[in-house]
Structure 1
Amino acid sequence: MADRATPNLPSRDFGTTEAFYGALGFECGWRDNGWMILTRGAVQLEFFPYPDLDPAKSSFGCCIRLDDMPAMHRQAVEVGVPQTSNGFPRISDPRRELSGLDIAYLVDPDGTLVRLVQND
């Protein structure tokens, strides 16, 4: 297995988190009362319980680098993730950043910022 990192992100409710990411193509690989692991292909996100998290004050975030970021963006829009600049959850339109990367910004129900980055 190649070296890798997996983000550890907060979840106020594992059922809500699993349903949200499940609509984006993630499947549950492990879940108990203290930990949940969701996977989508080679992407793995791990979640810990944080029932008192205020999404408006969350500073959690991660990047997912994708071979077809526009497809994941379309999927998020198709399953009803709002395209707005506030609220939880939400998603932005993809755009070319000053870095030269194409990025869409997904915010999950717990206020975690997930940058969807198109691989070069």
Structure 2
Amino acid sequence: MADHATPNLPSRDLKATSRFYAGLGFVEGWRDDGWMILTRGAMTLEFFPHPDLDPSTSWFSCCLRLDDIDAFHAACVDAGVPEACSGAPRVHAPRTEDWGGRVGALVDPDGTLLRFIQNES
């Protein structure tokens, strides 16, 4: 197995988090009262309970480096995540940044920012 890292993200409710991410194509690989692991292809996200988290003040974030960010963005929109400038959840369409890379963003229901970045070919 190649070296890898998995983000550990907060969840106010593991069941609700699982339902939200299932709409984006993630499946549960593990869940108990204190931890949950979701996968989508080679991506893994791990969640811990944080029932008192205020989504409007959350500072949690991670980056998803993807081969096809347009497909991931489409999955978010197809799942009903609104394209909006505020609130949670929401999604931001990919765009080319000044440094040349394409980047989009997802804010999940718990206020966690997931930047999705196009892998270089």
Q: Taking structure 2 as the reference length, what is the TM-score of the superposition?
A: 0.97
| Aligned equivalents of 1:5, 1:59: Cα separation in 2 | 19
Q: Deviations over 1:76-115 (max 9, x none)?
A: 1011100000111000111111221101110000000000
Secondary structure of 1:111 counterpart:
coil
- 1:17-28 counterparts in 2 under 5 A? 17-28=17-28
Residue 81 of structure 2 aligns with which residue?
Answer: 81
Residue 37 of structure 1 aligns with which residue?
Answer: 37
| Aligned equivalents of 1:87, 1:25: Cα separation in 2 | 22
**Runs (4+) of structure 1 moved beyond 6 Å?**
none
Structure 2 gaps of 5+ residues are none
| Aligned equivalents of 2:75, 2:45: Cα separation in 1 | 18
Aligned-partner residue type, residue 65 of structure 1: R
Q: Percent sequence identity over matched residues?
A: 61
Q: Taking structure 1 as the reference length, what is the TM-score of the superposition?
A: 0.98
Residue 99 of structure 1 aligns with which residue?
Answer: 99
| Aligned equivalents of 1:12, 1:101: Cα separation in 2 | 32
Aligned-partner residue type, residue 41 of structure 1: G
Residue 60 of structure 1 aligns with which residue?
Answer: 60
Say what the alpha-carbon RMSD is for the aligned residues: 0.6
Structure 1 gaps of 5+ residues are none
Secondary structure of 2:56 counterpart:
helix
Q: How many residues align?
A: 120
